[in-house]
Amino acid sequence: MSTLSIERADDPMAPTASDHSSGRRRRPRYGTHLFLIVMAVIWLIPLLWGFYTALRPQQSTIKHGYLSFAGPFNFKNFTDAWSQGGFATSFKNSAIITIPSVLLTLILASMVAFAVSRFNWKFNVTLLILFTAGNLLPPQILAAPLFQLFKHTPLPLSVSDSGDLLNTYFGVIAANTAFQLGFCTFVLSNYMKALPTDLTEAALVDGASAWRQYAQIIMPLCRPALAALGTLEVIWVYNDYFWALLLVSRGDRLPITTAINNLQGQFVSNDNLIAAGAIITVIPTLIVYLVLQRQFIAGLTLGASKG
């Protein structure tokens, strides 16, 4: 059942076998459709409303009310929000934080997963519990000591202008990596466990080293899982709000998700600009969603343990 379920989980949106087998009861379900359409519209309203608000100049909404359909409509709010909100910097920061975090997480998690899933070792359950439980903890629990730990980790001034891990991308990357590690380890170890043992045993007989087994046999086989997890993690790390909030106090080092909240302070009583800022922030996730939807959902369903 294990391997099968992974393949299925790859795309739960795909039609199931039942779609073909039981076509006989194909009567229209008006009630169901009505319900789904109403719900779908309700579901879309928040984003569409944000987009609509963002398209209108504030003067026009104040004059006609926010709930009105009077023009003009333009992208001025978007360009204003972009230039006033420092989005270019925030997006760059998000990229600098997200990409290394995801790569590190996947590399580190796959190494542990490989060792505990392909080799018998008396502590492997303990280890997996350690990782998985760590991922499920609310992050606020460890906030204060982590902050102190980072504060007291000296770094040369050439690397960090603060002389420690605070206010550096390193700090945020480290926190994100550590926190996401548990989930990826859990998922990957399950995935690797489900790969046939013969594969590596044959290699072992041939004298392949453990590292070669990992790098040349197991990792290539894990590509679907890695792609799925990678997509998921990019979204999660991009969406993370807390670590940067805790560890970074410089406006010009904040990733976009944390910086967006500052816009609220900056653009008070200009909901149009706030809406534009919010929509700009959504765009990268929507692109990932449209392009990599399959991977994202596969990642979620592969390891639904993520809280």
Min dist CB 258 to another protein, Å, is 7
How does DSSP classify residue 20?
H
Question: What's the angle, vertex CA 12, arms to CA 9 and CA 17, rounded to 5?
Answer: 100
Min dist CB 193 to another protein, Å, is 4
Q: Report helix, strand and coil shares of the chain as percent, to nearest 5.
A: 75, 0, 25
Residues 6+ apart with CB under 8 A from 305: 132, 135, 136, 183, 186, 187
- For the segment 219-238, give every residue that binds another protein (CB under 8 A): 235, 238
Closest listed residue to residue 110, CA positions, set 184, 56, 45, 178 = 184
Helix (H) or strand (E) holding 169: helix 169-193
Q: What are phi and psi of 154, to 5 degrees?
A: -75, 140
Which residue, 16 or 220, is less far from another protein as judged by CB? 16
Question: Which SS3 state, helix, strand or coil, does residue 10 take?
Answer: coil
Q: Does 49 bind another protein (CB under 8 A)?
A: yes
Instruction: Return the residue of 75, 79, 83, 161 that touches another protein, per CB under 8 A.
Output: 161
- For the segment 54-73, give every residue that binds another protein (CB under 8 A): 61, 65-67
Min dist CB 97 to another protein, Å, is 9
Min dist CB 176 to another protein, Å, is 10
Q: Does 215 bind another protein (CB under 8 A)?
A: no
- For the segment 16-45, give every residue that binds another protein (CB under 8 A): 16-19, 21-23, 26, 29, 32-33, 35-36, 39-40, 43-45
Which residue, 65 or 220, is less far from another protein as judged by CB? 65
- For the segment 98-117, give every residue that binds another protein (CB under 8 A): 100, 104, 107-109, 111-112, 114-116
Q: Does 13 bind another protein (CB under 8 A)?
A: yes
The total number of residues shown for the chain amounts to: 307
Closest listed residue to residue 217, CA positions, set 198, 231, 189 = 198
> Which stretch, 73-81, 216-224, 269-277, contacts another protein (CB under 8 A)?
269-277
Min dist CB 74 to another protein, Å, is 19
Instruction: Return the residue of 55, 102, 106, 173 that touches another protein, per CB under 8 A.
Output: 173
Which residue, 178 or 226, is less far from another protein as judged by CB? 178
Question: What's the angle, vertex CA 292, arms to CA 281 and CA 289, rounded to 5?
Answer: 35
Cβ atoms of 77 and 55 within 8 Å: the answer is yes
